[in-house]
């Protein structure tokens, strides 16, 4: 159950996905040339983009009227969801890097928050798979953050940004520089692996207990219910951690500090 979605109701897709893979279209995996390429996360990434677009268009109707846009929504709605999420993201970023820098980088972090959070939540819906449970999805988001904070560091401080990699002691600068380079290179890896691992595990737990309930009681929806609440917590925490660490990396890159 954990590895199957409504896409597997399409015989041709299921045979290709769980058989030879899609290597003939996408090529062999870079990290594992002998492995097979799957496309489930690609399809659900497309579904996620469509979902976000529809929700954004619904929420945008409120902001077409200036007077109405200033009035907070008093009930649960699409607009209320975005307002609560964006307010939390902005508050977190302001505490880390100041209000001015937070406003500058808010579009990036807020976009990641919406994309990752809704992508995580897709895994709680029967027949869907979270696109964030695939390493390619998490790595793509992490690489964007990596490029943004390094480019922003150079734009903000010029070549002085290199001093962040050398430490306060000149004698140890070469050693610290190598250590810092390795640490920065692994930041995208740690961001993506953490997100992928947790979302894969969460999705597998729901699938395993769903299979157990189906085999024992023929009611696959009963036992996983408590785990849905646990899954909701995991989805929220993982989106928060990704955005929090991304904000910290940006804040560290643009801060002015004497070494």
Residue 168 lies in a domain: yes
Residue 151 lies in a domain: yes
Please give the residue range of the domain that contains residue 247. 77-256
Between 169 and 128, name the one with better pLDDT: 128
Average pLDDT over residues 4-29: 78
Taking all residues of the chain, what is their mean pLDDT, rounded to a whole number? 83
pLDDT of residue 69 exceeding 70, the answer is: no
How many separate helices (H) and strands (E) can be counted in the chain? 9, 0
Helix (H, G, I), strand (E, B), or coil: what is residue 254? helix
pLDDT of residue 236 exceeding 90, the answer is: yes
d(CA 254, CA 97): 9
Average pLDDT over residues 196-205: 84
**What percentage of the chain carries pLDDT values higher than 90?**
37
d(CA 23, CA 21): 6
Residue 4 lies in a domain: no
Residue 215 lies in a domain: yes
Q: Confidence band (pLDDT; 50, 70, 90) for 171?
A: confident
The DSSP-derived string for 17-46 is: HTTT-SHHHH-S-SS-TTS----HHHHHHH
- Please give the pLDDT value at position 15: 81
Residue 82 lies in a domain: yes
Q: Confidence band (pLDDT; 50, 70, 90) for 257?
A: low
201: number of Cβ within 10 Å: 13
User: How many domains is the chain partitioned into structurally?
Assistant: 1
Residue 131 lies in a domain: yes
- Please give the pLDDT value at position 259: 42
Q: Let me know the angle formed at the C-alpha of 232 by 220 and 130, rounded to the nearest 5 degrees.
A: 75
Least confident of 46-60, 94-108, 151-165: 151-165
Least confident of 76-80, 84-88, 143-147, 253-257: 253-257
- Please give the pLDDT value at position 1: 46
Least confident of 38-42, 131-135, 210-214: 210-214
d(CA 190, CA 194): 6
Q: Is residue 205 within 8 Å of 3, Cβ to Cβ?
A: no
Residue 33 lies in a domain: no
Residue 136 lies in a domain: yes
Q: Which among 31, 45, 41, 40 has a CA at the least distance from the CA of 9? A: 40
- Please give the pLDDT value at position 88: 94
Q: Long-range CB contacts (< 8 A, 24+ apart) of 85-90?
A: 85/110, 85/113, 85/114, 85/117, 86/110, 86/113, 89/113, 89/243
Between 26 and 247, name the one with better pLDDT: 247
- Please give the pLDDT value at position 150: 92
């Amino acid at each position: 159950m954990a590895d199957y979605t409504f896409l597997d109701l399409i015989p041709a897709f299921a045979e290709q996905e769980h058989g030879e893979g899609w290597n003939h279209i996408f090529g062999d995996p870079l990290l594992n040339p002998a492995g097979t390429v799957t496309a489930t996360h690609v399809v659900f990434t497309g579904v996620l983009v469509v979902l976000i677009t529809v929700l954004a268009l619904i929420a945008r109707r409120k902001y077409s009227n200036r007077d109405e846009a200033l009035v907070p929504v008093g009930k649960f709605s699409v607009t209320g969801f975005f307002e609560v999420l964006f307010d939390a993201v902005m508050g977190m970023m302001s505490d880390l890097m100041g209000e001015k820098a937070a406003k500058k980088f808010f579009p990036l972090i807020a976009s990641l928050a919406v994309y990752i959070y809704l992508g995580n939540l897709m895994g709680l819906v029967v027949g869907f798979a979270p696109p964030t449970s695939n390493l390619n999805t998490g790595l793509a988001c992490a690489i964007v953050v990596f490029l943004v904070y390094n480019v922003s560091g150079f734009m903000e401080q010029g070549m002085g940004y290199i001093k962040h990699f050398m430490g306060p002691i000149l004698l140890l600068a070469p050693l610290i520089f190598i250590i810092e380079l390795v640490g920065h290179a692994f930041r995208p890896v740690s961001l993506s692996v953490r997100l992928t691992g947790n979302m894969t595990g969460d999705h597998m737990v729901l699938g395993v207990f769903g299979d157990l309930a189906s085999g024992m009681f023929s009611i696959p929806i009963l036992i996983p219910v408590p785990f849905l609440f646990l899954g909701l917590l995991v989805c929220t925490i993982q989106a928060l951690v990704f955005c929090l660490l991304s904000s910290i990396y940006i804040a560290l890159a643009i801060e002015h500090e004497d070494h």
